[in-house]
Amino acid sequence: MGYICDFCGDQPSLVYCRSDAACLCLSCDRNVHSANALSKRHSRTLLCERCNSQPAFVRCAEEKVSLCQNCDWMGHDASTSNSTHKRQTINSYSGCPSSGELSSIWSFFSQSDSAGESACEQELGLMSISENIESTSWDPTVNTISHNSAGVAEVNGDCNVDKGSGRTRTSIPEYRPAPQLLDQPAGSTDTSLPKFCPQTKYPGLSEDDLYDDFNIDEVDLNLENYEELFGGSSIGLVNAIQPACSNAASADSVMSNKTDSILYFTTKHAHSSLSFSGLTGESSAGDYQDCGASSMLLMGEPPWCPPCTESSIPSATRSDAVMRYKEKKKTRKFEKRVRYASRKARADVRKRVKGRFVKAGDAYDYDPLNQTRSC
């Protein structure tokens, strides 16, 4: 990733698509993400101009560079004079925005960066998460779990109203093109810094839908069933997170509300880099940084995690949400995705000894075709 567009391999990359884990030039970004409805839902943001590999989440007004969380920390450490630099959050976007719309989100974004209007822009030139929101079945009150949902731009500005149901989404702030200036210096990190991460979209239960096209499946590979999601096997993960959370609720209180905390983790996991299992003590925050979500595991309390999870969510609402979540999971398909049907076909008929493939002609104890033994 980085420097050159992953798609065309020609133009400098400018945009990072977390769904595709790809760095794209603006032109390819439009082309790729205008392909279908699912790709339009991909959340994209600018590419970090320092490391050229991570999604940027903040714009340093002084240095005029877009930075990922890691580079921001490195460059604006409290011990340096740079810590006083004014920085502006960089919102992510979905859909197929025009350069003008990008400029409206990112005041620093120059329309000259773009290569002109595409057919996609002319036809679909709106960025929106409304489609995603509509698809969610979660109660809006559940979404109040997250309070930092300003991360996604809503150009048509009606995100507070669920078009499908007409319900008011009080928890989702209206998009304001005016830049958010970060007044606090980066040095006062611990608790404040992760909270302004704009990349984290609606990390409540509705994430399930927002990232349905790719993330949840990957989560499901690791957390196959509901019992595991809500049961003890995740305790270790939560406990692993816990020591890093300087001001988070105690592990006991977290686990006392298993459903919610595991859902928090699940959605975070869905947001963060694809594999969590490889996280070791030697790993740095930057290694697992996905602009906030994953690094927050290391750096502090997630911004969407309310100080008191137990009291802020009515138990009826929670159980209602859990019930819907269970139903939804039930309807999902967890079939293993076979990439090469021909290989599967061969494996299906291959003779085995204790489950292992044997050479053709050798003795076997299992024949998938006729269930007989050769010896």
Q: Interface with DNA by CB under 7 A: which residues?
A: 222, 224-225, 227-228, 232-233, 235-236, 277, 336, 338-340, 342-344, 346-348, 350, 352, 354-360, 366, 368
Q: Give the separation between CA 321 and CA 32, rounded to whole angstroms.
A: 34
Residue 353 beta carbon to DNA: minimum distance, rounded to whole angstroms: 8
Residue 168 near residue 161, CB atoms below 8 Å = yes
Nearer to DNA, 333 or 336 (CB): 336
Residue 267 beta carbon to DNA: minimum distance, rounded to whole angstroms: 18
Nearer to DNA, 108 or 276 (CB): 276
Residue 277 beta carbon to DNA: minimum distance, rounded to whole angstroms: 6
Nearer to DNA, 147 or 350 (CB): 350
Nearer to DNA, 342 or 370 (CB): 342
Nearer to DNA, 109 or 364 (CB): 364
Q: Give the separation between CA 134 and CA 132, rounded to whole angstroms.
A: 5
Residue 197 beta carbon to DNA: minimum distance, rounded to whole angstroms: 28
Residue 338 beta carbon to DNA: minimum distance, rounded to whole angstroms: 5
Nearer to DNA, 165 or 256 (CB): 256
Task: Count other Cβ atoms within 10 Å, centred on residue 264.
Answer: 25
Those residues with Cβ within 8 angstroms of residue 140's Cβ, 6 or more apart along the chain or in another chain? 162, 167, 168, 169, 170, 171
Residue 172 beta carbon to DNA: minimum distance, rounded to whole angstroms: 34
Residue 253 near residue 233, CB atoms below 8 Å = no
Given its phi and psi angles, is residue 142 left (phi above 0), alpha (psi -120 to 50 degrees) or beta?
A: alpha
